[in-house]
Amino acid sequence: MCYAIPGKIIEIKKNVAVLDYFGEKRNVLLDQDVKVGDYAYAQGGVLINVIEKAEAERVLIFWKEKFFELKEIDEKTSKVQEINASTKVLEILEKVNLSKELTKEDMMFLLKVEDSRELKLIYETANNVRQKEHDNACCVHGIIEFSNYCKNDCSYCGIRKSRNIQRYRMSVKEIVEVAKKAVSLGFKALVLQSGEDYWYDEEKLIEIVKKIRKLNVLIFLSIGVREKRIYEKLYQAGARGVLLRFETSDRELFERERPKTNFNKRISLIRDLKEMKYIIATGFLVGIGESEENIVNNILLTKELEPDMYSFGPFIPSGGSSKVEKDLIFKIIALSRFIDKKSKILVTSALETLDSNARKEGLMAGANSLMLNVTPKKYKELYNLYPGRKDEEVIKAVDETVDLLYSIGRAPTDLGI
Ligand code: 5AD
């Protein structure tokens, strides 16, 4: 977001550029003409835009000290404090440290841990792995919820078709305006989310993507199942990411909770999108009646889909509070970190509704990404996927997030691949 650091292009190899950030080198994908010596912002492993040298130097002066100061805090806070656990837990964590693959049984075992000292060790180990693999970079994407119309009737969802709620659609112009505002706050990646709303046809979606791409941001689409052909066109128009959860790997549960939708179709779409070179964010819901084994299968299916980012969160029932314990989510974050060290793991806003401290705890259990809602207030309150969503000013939320990240030594930026 705001504080993304420009890197200097030091090498170009076909469609990859090597960016230098104070001596650290990162590869980013290129889809525009650039030259060695240019300064550029990258996001999610994609070069977004080249900026003037003078502007880059101004930003870099601010960052130089902060960059190393934050890294130091992160290094200190991500050390494992005290080793206090049963032999079995220690054996499994040793496998993690030696980069040996965990078995399904290992994963089940960790998922069942309840002892607070063992949980602490598991989270600290996951945070340590996160630090070693990703350093202190933390993506902060903005999310624009542009329509709460949905043709589906998924039992768990607050905007499902059969619910009698006030509906809204933002016009193309409004969406672009909201995106502009988010960019002015410094967001470098935006997620455009809606229910499955076919009022936004191919033409409208392409127009939205083309206009927002001109603002120099990474665009993620979160619009549900659409024809492959449309996603291809949207890629050409400039979208680079898709957020599409498979929701559950249990087919029966999927078909029960998501009437008239198809598991295989959703999974093959995610695979097709990956093949189209989209950056994939995917994952599942926790607490919709799945078994523990199913949770492990959900984590494994996420890994199999080779996403750039894991996105999973607790089910929050409408009109009630969630039965999901936040520790279960932290264990899933840690397990995901253990089996897929290189991926990004999102602390979802649904997790944040469980407890005001959950966001920080999630980041300390292996997660390294956040999303902030930038939808205008009048629409945000109608986009009730679940109750208890935070309602705060975007500017305030940005400030609070930056403060939180700084306090744990994380840099709100995304340095290439
Ligand atoms: N609680 C938590 N998450 C929900 N989602 C939908 N309804 C709920 C709910 N009640 C999630 C789904 C969807 C994402 C956009 O929101 O996983 O993919």
pLDDT at 408: 97
pLDDT at 2: 44
Question: Does the pLDDT at position 1 exceed 50?
Answer: no
Question: Does the pLDDT at position 189 exceed 60?
Answer: yes
Question: Does the pLDDT at position 37 exceed 70?
Answer: yes
CA distances from residue 124 to 78, 117, 118, 261, 264 in whole angstroms, order as listed: 7, 11, 10, 39, 37
Q: Ligand 1 test: best mutation among 161, 249, 285, 290, most atoms within 8 Å of CB? A: 285
Residues 77-89 pLDDT 10s: 999 998 989 999 9
CA distance 331 to 365: 8
Residues 221-263 pLDDT 10s: 999 999 999 999 999 999 999 999 999 999 999 999 999 999 9
The mean per-residue pLDDT over the stretch 102-110 comes to: 98
CA distance 91 to 112: 15
Atom of ligand 1 nearest to the CA of 283: 17
CA distances from residue 404 to 107, 179, 331, 357, 410 in whole angstroms, order as listed: 30, 24, 21, 10, 8
User: Among candidates 403, 374, 377, 380, which has minimal Cα distance to 186?
Assistant: 374
Query: 3-state DSSP call for residue 152?
Result: coil
User: Among candidates 315, 371, 383, 175, which has minimal Cα distance to 363?
Assistant: 371
Measured from the CB, is residue 344 less than 6 Å from ligand 1?
no
Measured from the CB, is residue 189 less than 6 Å from ligand 1?
no
pLDDT at 3: 55
Contacting residues for 392 by C-beta, under 8 A, at least 6 apart = 400
> Kind and range of the H or E element at 171?
none
Residues 341-392 pLDDT 10s: 999 999 999 999 999 899 999 999 999 999 999 999 999 999 989 888 877 8
State the distance from the centre of ligand 1 to the C-alpha of 253, rounded, in angstroms. Answer: 15
Measured from the CB, is residue 316 less than 6 Å from ligand 1?
yes
| Token pair in block for residue 12 | 């170009």
Measured from the CB, is residue 258 less than 6 Å from ligand 1?
no
Percent of the chain at pLDDT > 90 equals 82
Predicted TM-score (pTM) of the model is 0.95
Domains (range + CATH), the chain: 7-77 (2.30.30.140), 133-408 (3.20.20.70)
Measured from the CB, is residue 287 less than 6 Å from ligand 1?
no
Spacing of C-alpha 183 from chain mean position: 18
Measured from the CB, is residue 191 less than 6 Å from ligand 1?
no
Query: 3-state DSSP call for residue 324?
Result: coil
Q: Interior CA angle at 273 toward 271 and 278, to 5°?
A: 125
Q: Do 333 and 367 meet the contact criterion of CB atoms below 8 Å apart?
A: yes
pLDDT at 414: 61
Atom of ligand 1 nearest to the CA of 285: 17
**Protein residue whose Cα sits closest to atom 16 of ligand 1:** 385
Residues 118-148 pLDDT 10s: 999 999 999 999 999 999 989 999 999 999 9
Question: Does the pLDDT at position 74 exceed 90?
Answer: yes
Spacing of C-alpha 161 from chain mean position: 26
User: Among candidates 357, 331, 355, 356, which has minimal Cα distance to 345?
Assistant: 331
For the chain, the distance separating the N- and C-terminal CA atoms, rounded to the nearest angstrom, is 16
Extended strands (E) in 63-182: 139-147
Spacing of C-alpha 379 from chain mean position: 22
CA distance 223 to 82: 44
Q: Interior CA angle at 319 toward 318 and 320, to 5°?
A: 95
Question: Does the pLDDT at position 416 exceed 70?
Answer: no
User: Among candidates 74, 134, 55, which has minimal Cα distance to 416?
Assistant: 134
Beta partners for 309?
281, 344
